[in-house]
Amino acid sequence: MNPLAKLEAFKLDVLKEVGNIGAGNAATALSRLLDKPVDMNVPTVSLIPFERVADRVGGFEQVVIAVFLRVEGDAPGNMFFIIDEHSARKLLRNLLAIEPSEEAGYSEMEFSALSEIGNILAGSYLSSLADFTQLCLSPTVPAIAVDMAGAILSCGLVQYGEMGDSALLINTTFLEGREELAGHFFLIPDPESFDKIFSALGVPNE
Amino acid sequence: MMQENFVKVGMADMQIATTGAILKTTGLGSCVGLTLFDERSKVAGMVHVMLPSSEIARETPINIAKYADTSLPHLIGLMKQAGAEPRRFVAKMAGGAQMFAFNSKSDSMRIGPRNVESCKEMLRQFSIPLIAEDTGANYGRTIEFNSSSGVLVIRSVQQGVKEI
């Protein structure tokens, strides 16, 4: 059995707060970029079987745009910022006044813009988390992909594969109301990182 | 028209199919979909390999379908029980992409190519010929393996549909 399955409820609450603070800051950053209010859902934190990791973004085969950063430093992990194609177009239209062509995929310019947006948002997520925990967390340069959600998210599960068939995901969704823009953050700390996060936050370790 | 009968193969899972059923696994990224086929008995098998070697496993008991080195011998056994003859086996595989390319100290980013190498090494050990593959590159794949024809259909967002 996965040792993380035994995490007590209050520890899961601590991780929810981690997701809340990180995504809260990212939502603020996005709100400034868009000059519009951005809402955020309460984070979900749970040990999810590999088969179901993509459920929140529409299933394994759903095509999504994902910006991926590997987090290095004291508490390594994987971070994904995932949006659907509809939201990606809205973002490009709102922020850059680019009207992406419907069928031809994305141009290099559009890719680069989306990657930068992901970078800003993930960066603000992580920097607030680093401030909050006093841990050193440094993201790698972001990589972007448009592909099936399962193929993308499974890249973040390798560290969990060695110890079981499920992974602990901190998932936050934000929405920009009238434009129906939705995005997802997935923070997947490496299994070894949880003790560091908990001890940095003064959570007693039995 | 015969109703198509799909057998879903999950992540780190293996299944066999006979009598025309189609084995399907979705969203292969760095994972590898390895298939075996015995044309005479029409027994097909598929495994969704996630990691190259069980040496790094820290789980107990281990999920044998997850690792390249443990899954192949087990799949051969399952197919034998279903009436297949291992000497006639031919293999095909797809997946093993490197979805994101960037510089990182982390070896886990190279997991796709390592999965492919490890599957090939296992096939060599069991003297099973690899007759077709669609591996590597940087995109995800969904695959369907037909147990009556042995045709492997590969779908991807960027490259469309391909048969090997």
In a domain? residue B149: yes
**B157 touches A at CB < 8 Å:** yes
Comparing alpha-carbon positions, the chain A residue that sits nearest to B65 is A165
Q: Which long-range contacts (CB under 8 A, 24 or more apart) does B83-88 make?
A: B83/B18, B83/B41, B83/B43, B84/B38, B84/B41, B84/B43, B85/B38, B85/B40, B85/B41, B86/B38, B86/B126, B86/B128, B88/B38, B88/B39, B88/B40, B88/B41
pLDDT at position B35 is 97
Question: Is pLDDT above 80 for B121?
Answer: yes
Distance from CA of B85 to the nearest CA of A (A): 31
Does the predicted interface ipTM exceed a cut of 0.85? yes
- B119 is known as an active-site residue: no
Question: Is pLDDT above 50 for A6?
Answer: yes
pLDDT at position B115 is 94
Q: What percent of chain A has pLDDT over 90?
A: 16
The mean per-residue pLDDT over the stretch A148-175 comes to: 87
pLDDT at position A104 is 62
How does pLDDT run across B60-109, given as a tens digit for each residue? 788 999 999 999 999 999 999 999 999 999 999 999 999 887 655 556 66
The mean per-residue pLDDT over the stretch A26-30 comes to: 87
How does pLDDT run across B18-54, given as a tens digit for each residue? 988 999 999 999 999 999 999 999 999 999 999 999 9
Q: How confident is the model at residue B3 (pLDDT cuts 50, 70, 90)?
A: low
* Residue B145, C-beta contacts closer than 8 angstroms, at least 6 positions apart: B17, B22, B23, B24, B33, B35, B37, B44, B46, B92, B151, B152, B153
Comparing alpha-carbon positions, the chain A residue that sits nearest to B60 is A1
pLDDT at position A1 is 52
Question: Is pLDDT above 50 for B130?
Answer: yes
- Which comes out higher in pLDDT, residue A176 or A87? A87
Are residues B139 and A163, on separate chains, in Cβ contact within 8 Å? no
Within 8 A of A161 by CB-CB distance, chain B residues are 12, 50-51, 66
Q: How many CB pairs under 8 A join A and B?
A: 107
Mutate to test the interface with B, among A2, A60, A82 (most CBs of B within 10 A): A60
Within 8 A of B10 by CB-CB distance, chain A residues are 50-51
Distance from CA of B10 to the nearest CA of A (A): 6
Q: Would you list the domain boundaries of chain A?
A: 3-200
**B137 touches A at CB < 8 Å:** no
In CATH, what is the architecture of A3-200? 3-Layer(aba) Sandwich (3.40)
The total number of structural domains that make up chain B = 1
Question: Is pLDDT above 70 for B132?
Answer: yes
How does pLDDT run across A121-140, given as a tens digit for each residue? 888 889 888 998 899 998 88
pLDDT at position B1 is 43
Interface of A with B in 22-51 (CB under 8 A): 50-51
pLDDT at position A17 is 87
Are residues B10 and A143, on separate chains, in Cβ contact within 8 Å? no
Are residues B139 and A70, on separate chains, in Cβ contact within 8 Å? no
Distance from CA of B139 to the nearest CA of A (A): 7
> Could you tell me the CATH number of the domain that includes residue B117?
3.30.1330.200
pLDDT at position B68 is 94
pLDDT at position A107 is 83
Which residue range(s) make up the domain with B31?
A: 6-163
Distance CA A2, CA A46 (A): 12
Mean pLDDT comparison of B3-17, B57-71, B127-141, highest-scoring range? B127-141
Are residues A68 and B100, on separate chains, in Cβ contact within 8 Å? yes
In a domain? residue B146: yes
The overall average pLDDT reported for chain A is 85
- Residue in A2, A68, A147 closest to B157 by CB: A147
Q: What percent of chain A has pLDDT over 70?
A: 93
In a domain? residue B109: yes
How does pLDDT run across A58-112, given as a tens digit for each residue? 888 899 999 999 899 999 999 999 998 888 888 888 877 777 666 667 888 888 8
Q: Which long-range contacts (CB under 8 A, 24 or more apart) does A5-13 make?
A: A5/A47, A5/A166, A7/A47, A7/A168, A7/A194, A10/A203, A11/A198, A11/A203, A12/A45, A12/A46
In a domain? residue B1: no
